[in-house]
Structure 1
Amino acid sequence: MDRSSLLQLIQEQQLDPENTGFIGADTFTGLVHRHELPLDPAKLDMLVALAQSNERGQVCYQELADLISSKRSSSFKRAIANGQRALPRDGLLDEPGLGVYKRFVRYVAYEILPREVDRHWYFYRHRSCPPPVFMASVTLAQIIVFLCYGARLNKWVLQTYHPEYMKSPLVYHPGHRARAWRFLTYMFMHVGLEQLGFNALLQLMIGVPLEMVHGLLRISLLYLAGVLAGSLTVSITDMRAPVVGGSGGVYALCSAHLANVVMVTGQGPQDLSHHLLFAPIRTGSEVGRAVWLRFSPPLPASGPQPSFMAHLAGAVVGVSMGLTILRSYEERLRDQCGWWVVLLAYGTFLLFAIFWNIFAYDLLGAHIPPPP
């Protein structure tokens, strides 16, 4: 049913004789059931819940039109924000007769979106095009690069200790700061199977569902911002350390999603799903391992010592930038005031890091290891 036919029916039934632009929610619900109108039950629930958040308990024509055309008005977004629209939690879980793909979409909705109404909205309006290609492509590229270097060096663990590994044009090394692409391309290089395996697992398990919900642009921006912040932070705080691995981007995704769930729903760790619990356990253990290797290295002193600052920088980017990006998965970023504040802060950090890398090493007389 299109917008004009439904509004025409409302006018014919004289449900709004004074032309106020509003009708009672109960009256509208009765109209739908009495005439057996083909309105999506989930959308009807959303509309009634929206009306219940209105002091007068009425449905607005514009809200009705926006809902039918799958658009969200500003009042609809405000109703989401005030949390007064309670839909049954098991609505989607009890949906019968779903195929494999729709079941996966339902799983993504429940794992990524903390509000039930957003889960319903996403489930019923999700389209498979465009597919989540960014995280899958990055992960595939990382695996291919690792396999190529593993076969070439005949080394699959602690590759950074092979003398030829650090000569790669992809690795970030403080002696090659002028080659700016290295601040990003280091994400394709990994120390060994352990680091690659866990990073790839988290990227596919968390990054792909996030990209399905929030889109390629937002997730790629968040991931790359974490990667770039990781290498720049190391160049400022740990000036002798090279960097490999995509942990900065992975930490940005995980921390952004966890923070968004906790902030929006007020849930504690005991209420989060199993894979959300796995992420902080895994990332925390990796940070602890990196700290141990950095300050008490049981490895050859001649080799490069890992830095844990890239992990922390990615987490900070995720909590700050990610909360803005993930809070409203439909609202455009440019319409959010908080987005511009976060963008300005990140831009200020980038400018500071650029000037630091140009001038600070010489001014401080930093003794960096010779580049390979």
Structure 2
Amino acid sequence: MTAGPREAAVNCSPAVAANAEGEEIEVLESTDVLPVAPEDYDPENSGFISTERFRDLLAAHGSELDPHKLEVLLALTNGNADGKICYQDFVNLMSNKRSNSFRRAILQGSRQLKGCSLRDEVGLGLSQRLVRHVAYETLPREVDRKWYFDSYTYCPPPLLILAITIAEVAVFMYYGFQLERLVLQVSSPSFLKSPLPYHPQLRAQAWRYLSYSFMHTGIEHLSLNMAMQLLVGVPLEMVHGALRIGLVYVCGVLAGSLAVSVTDMTAPVVGSSGGVYALVSAHLANVVMNWSGMKCQFKLFRMAMALVCMSVEFGRAVWLRFYPPAFPPCPNPSFVAHLGGVVVGLTLGVVVLQNYEQRLQEQSLFWIFFCVYTLFVLCAVFWNIFAYSLLDGFRLAAGLSVIVYFSSQLPHLRLSLTIAKFTSPCSFASSVLDARLKTISRLGDVC
């Protein structure tokens, strides 16, 4: 009788056993066929199994498992505070959802996860304590925290958010010295004339829909955004990688400028608030959705502080928008970009943070939100191409109709003016009316 892959692996060398285990995972990935939960442990067919019975299974059959898998399963058991384990979670853990991670762990036969909880680890160096701290700050489940702690390396280092922050500071300092102003730079007439801010009159310059994030209205604007960006963005980048966090950040920045172009059509926009609010909103939503699993210290107080910072920054933006502008033909920067970032964070951002080390292309919610976001971008692009021209045409037609109407009413206005000169005690009102009448007459002659 031919031995199965696991039985053959037991009697072979470690390298052969690792290859056999990898082949077994490949088979599971290609067929998507996994054994069903035993009826003895799930008699009601609810899809859940108690942690006590699951520990009994591990005690009885743990010797047949790879040490890494056994330790991860123990972490899964310890990470469920409700006393039961979802069978689908077990399937996701053992099948293709983590196939790449399992393959790396199997091929590195000497590496093993140690301890049942990261808090039990002692004698850790500074970098290891930092990784553990980041794990508890961002990941809601012990199994994910242990996996991240064991597998994380500082190669590549989390440089994306740091590089963006340095670029923002450099741009701010450049314009600060050029304008000789560090507070409320937007009050300088030269501020919005640079090639970076988004302005509706320059919407054909496509780079402005992203480059506006490198400029800020003053040191107070830059400081708040930079603090939230570093405190939230860097840990998220360490856990989820630069590609995923960069995707959320850029989508938030682009959504912010497009939202302004659709809803606040006369206002410019500056600042990285779209990307920052996307990251912070996604992180806060992830914390709320996994409140019991998040083990970070003072999480309620820290969440309240984050909401206060977001509210202060948003309130500052609203106040500045309706403050008398420095040069009246052009209004102050819009605050709608903040709202665009929040929407991106609560949709795409949450999906990214909820699926640590899982393939986003296999998540239906990711594709739903991605398609909705793509549709919004396309609609906003068409709006910017056609709507502004149509609205300008409507305004011109309305202005011409008003001029034609008042031109037709000139005889009546002259009669009213003559009566006013003889009957009104206020000659000033008559002179004003006479001046307006002459202006309307000239406009009528032009038409």
TM-score class, shorter? 0.7 to 0.9
Q: In the aligned structure 2, how far is the partner of 1:362 from the partner of 1:39?
A: 63
* Corresponding residue to 1:173 among 195, 199, 205: 199
* Corresponding residue to 2:229 among 203, 225, 228: 203
Structure 2 residue identity aligned to 1:346: Y
Q: In the aligned structure 2, how far is the partner of 1:278 from the partner of 1:210?
A: 18
Q: CA RMSD in A?
A: 3.6
Tell me which residue corresponds to 1:246.
Answer: 272
Displaced runs of 4+ in structure 1, greater than 6 A? 3-6, 20-23, 47-50, 64-69
Q: In the aligned structure 2, how far is the partner of 1:71 from the partner of 1:364?
A: 58
Question: How many aligned residue pairs are there?
Answer: 330
Tell me which residue corresponds to 2:337.
Answer: 310
Q: Percent identity?
A: 48
More displaced, 141-150 or 124-133?
A: 124-133
Alignment of 1:78-89 (within 5 A): none
Tell me which residue corresponds to 1:81.
Answer: none
More displaced, 39-48 or 130-139?
A: 39-48
**Deviation at residue 104 of structure 1 after TM alignment:** 0.7
**Deviation at residue 5 of structure 1 after TM alignment:** 10
More displaced, 192-201 or 275-284?
A: 275-284
Q: In the aligned structure 2, how far is the partner of 1:337 from the partner of 1:147?
A: 44
Answer yes or no: is the 8 Å Cα contact 2:273–2:337 preserved in 1: yes
Alignment of 1:1-372 (within 5 A): 7-8=9-10, 24-29=57-62, 42-43=71-72, 45-46=74-75, 53=85, 63=94, 70-71=101-102, 91-265=117-291, 272=299, 274-295=301-322, 297=323, 300=326, 302=328, 304-365=331-392
Tell me which residue corresponds to 1:76.
Answer: none
Structure 2 residue identity aligned to 1:215: G
Answer yes or no: is the 8 Å Cα contact 1:115–1:265 preserved in 2: no
More displaced, 128-137 or 244-253?
A: 128-137
Q: In the aligned structure 2, how far is the partner of 1:209 from the partner of 1:335?
A: 25
**Deviation at residue 195 of structure 1 after TM alignment:** 0.9
Q: Indicate the structure (1 or 2) with the bigger Cα radius of gyration.
A: 2
Structure 1 residue identity aligned to 2:222: L
Q: In the aligned structure 2, how far is the partner of 1:351 from the partner of 1:314?
A: 17
Q: Structure 1 stretches of 5 or more lacking a match?
A: 11-19, 73-86, 368-372
Q: In the aligned structure 1, how far is the partner of 2:174 from the partner of 2:282?
A: 32
Q: In the aligned structure 2, how far is the partner of 1:320 from the partner of 1:67?
A: 23
Tell me which residue corresponds to 1:16.
Answer: none
Structure 2 residue identity aligned to 1:151: F
Answer yes or no: is the 8 Å Cα contact 2:76–2:142 preserved in 1: no
TM-score, normalised to structure 1, is 0.78
Q: Deviations over 1:115-141 (max 9, x none)?
A: 222111211111211111111111111
CA spacing shift, 1:103–1:4, aligned 2, 3 Å:
farther
TM-score, normalised to structure 2, is 0.66
Q: In the aligned structure 2, how far is the partner of 1:65 from the partner of 1:232?
A: 37
Q: In the aligned structure 2, how far is the partner of 1:66 from the partner of 1:152?
A: 52
CA spacing shift, 1:6–1:246, aligned 2, 3 Å:
farther
Q: Structure 2 stretches of 5 or more lacking a match?
A: 13-33, 39-55, 104-114, 396-447
Q: In the aligned structure 1, how far is the partner of 2:195 from the partner of 2:86?
A: 60
Structure 2 residue identity aligned to 1:25: L
Q: In the aligned structure 2, how far is the partner of 1:291 from the partner of 1:300?
A: 16
Structure 1 residue identity aligned to 2:179: L
Structure 2 residue identity aligned to 1:332: R
Tell me which residue corresponds to 2:409.
Answer: none
Structure 2 residue identity aligned to 1:359: F
CA spacing shift, 1:311–1:153, aligned 2, 3 Å:
same
Q: In the aligned structure 1, how far is the partner of 2:100 from the partner of 2:186?
A: 55
